[in-house]
Amino acid sequence: MGWLHWERFLCGTDCGTDPHRCVSERLFVEMADVMVAEGWRDAGYEFICIDDCWMAPTRDEHGRLQADPKRFPSGIRKLADYVHSKGLKLGIYSDVGNKTCAGFPGSYNHYDLDAQTFASWGVDLLKFDGCNSGTLELLAEGYRHMSLALNRTGRSIVYSCEWPFYLRPMQQPNYTEIKQYCNHWRNFFDVYDSWSSIKSILDWTALHQDSIVKIAGPGGWNDPDMLVIGNFGLSWDQAVTQMAMWAIMAAPLFMSNDLRHISPEAKWLLQNKEVIAINQDPLGKQGYQITKDKDFELWERPLSGQAYAVAVLNHQEIGGPRNFTFPLTFLGNGLACNPACSVWQVLPASRDCGVYSWVSSLSVEVNPTGTVLLKVVAL
């Protein structure tokens, strides 16, 4: 869990004219301060991550990556020290190819040196992009090589990959192999601050669930990209859907928003302890879609303690709130509510829904593009 500059903060913002919003050490220091002061760290958002365009356009005389002196005048090491002093961890970004997606120096031919540089700076996470990687062999070799190079530094560094996303147009990813090397991996396009983007990520995930769900677990997760809650593009119900569904998908929770200016509602949702507990459930199983009809989608995620998280998403974009009624035998292959269960609503608001027997049905009312998230515990 953490915060990442990309989506909300892009490379084009100029530090001269917009110092408050450009990608710079000031942005990271201010965000780290807010993460501590406003309860984000204590809610579990531990990593603060730099994305593209932190680098100078060339390497130094020893071939090492160096920070852009205008954006990060004190250097990354100093920033890492500051972030650590706040009880947070620092993430950084590079690319398997010879240039990053925004055209800065990539790590190709420098994997060992870059891993050592990041470790010497005290970096705790590397997001490794896949632009400009050349052939499929180079892409795979690069992702493997960087994983081993990070391990050889002896520092614990989370390895965040986009390997399957760049591979998939040409070849079916081998997820067993990818999980051997990466801690999480992007499968699909970049998230945008819009409902159509959230919808497309959910649709893609449901369509490919037979191949991607079973591989997820402690040490390796599918990454549907950042939470964009607290920005401009999602309605309240759509924000609830993103939070609920990212919990069902066992997604890494990296926010991309401006924590210095965020509504109390968005903060409540993003810091909601019950949803975060579902997202971080120690059983570590990813959820999946059970059924979908023209109005609703029903998803479940097995949790520790004989429990299930259940999401009912109303994907209608017309009309008002609608009821969805389903037999409880739909859940957990008939076993989630056997012989009885308690049902607790987590989102959009915390509420006790009572005790049910396994032959009963449950009815929930869901707003258009909204989701009701439940926790069902067998009794």
Contact positions toward ligand GLA, by CB under 6 A?
6, 51-52, 101-102, 129, 162, 190
Determine contact, residues 290/299, Cβ cutoff 8 Å: yes
Least Cβ distance, residue 98 to ligand GLA (angstroms): 15
**Cα(317)–Cα(174) distance, integer angstroms:** 36
Main-chain phi, psi angles of 304, to 5 degrees? -65, 160
Residue 30 or 190 having the CB closest to ligand GLA = 190
CB atoms within 10 A of CB 58: 10
| Token couple for 247 | 């919990």
Of 58, 369, 124, nearest to 244 by C-alpha is: 369
| Token couple for 331 | 């859940």
- 203 in active site: no
> Going by C-beta distance under 8 Å and a sequence separation of 6 or more, which residues neighbour residue 317?
368, 369
Residues present in the chain in total:
379
Of 91, 161, 159, 88, nearest to 131 by C-alpha is: 161
Residue 202 or 307 having the CB closest to ligand GLA = 202
Pairing of strands 371-378, 340-347: antiparallel
- 190 in active site: yes
Least Cβ distance, residue 10 to ligand GLA (angstroms): 8
The sign one gets for the Cα dihedral 309, 288, 286, 315 is negative
129, 193, 225, 281: which is the annotated catalytic residue? 129
CB atoms within 10 A of CB 236: 16
Least Cβ distance, residue 22 to ligand GLA (angstroms): 15
Residue 51 or 193 having the CB closest to ligand GLA = 51
Least Cβ distance, residue 11 to ligand GLA (angstroms): 7
Least Cβ distance, residue 81 to ligand GLA (angstroms): 25
Least Cβ distance, residue 101 to ligand GLA (angstroms): 3
Residue 91 or 370 having the CB closest to ligand GLA = 91
33, 68, 81, 190: which is the annotated catalytic residue? 190
Query: In angstroms, what CA-CA distances link 155 with 87, 116, 120, 220, 281?
Result: 17, 9, 9, 18, 26
Least Cβ distance, residue 354 to ligand GLA (angstroms): 43
**Cα(127)–Cα(138) distance, integer angstroms:** 18
| Token couple for 313 | 């998403």
Residue 130 or 332 having the CB closest to ligand GLA = 130
CB atoms within 10 A of CB 342: 16
Of 288, 285, 314, nearest to 300 by C-alpha is: 288
Residue 190 or 274 having the CB closest to ligand GLA = 190
Q: List residues with catalytic annotation.
A: 129, 190
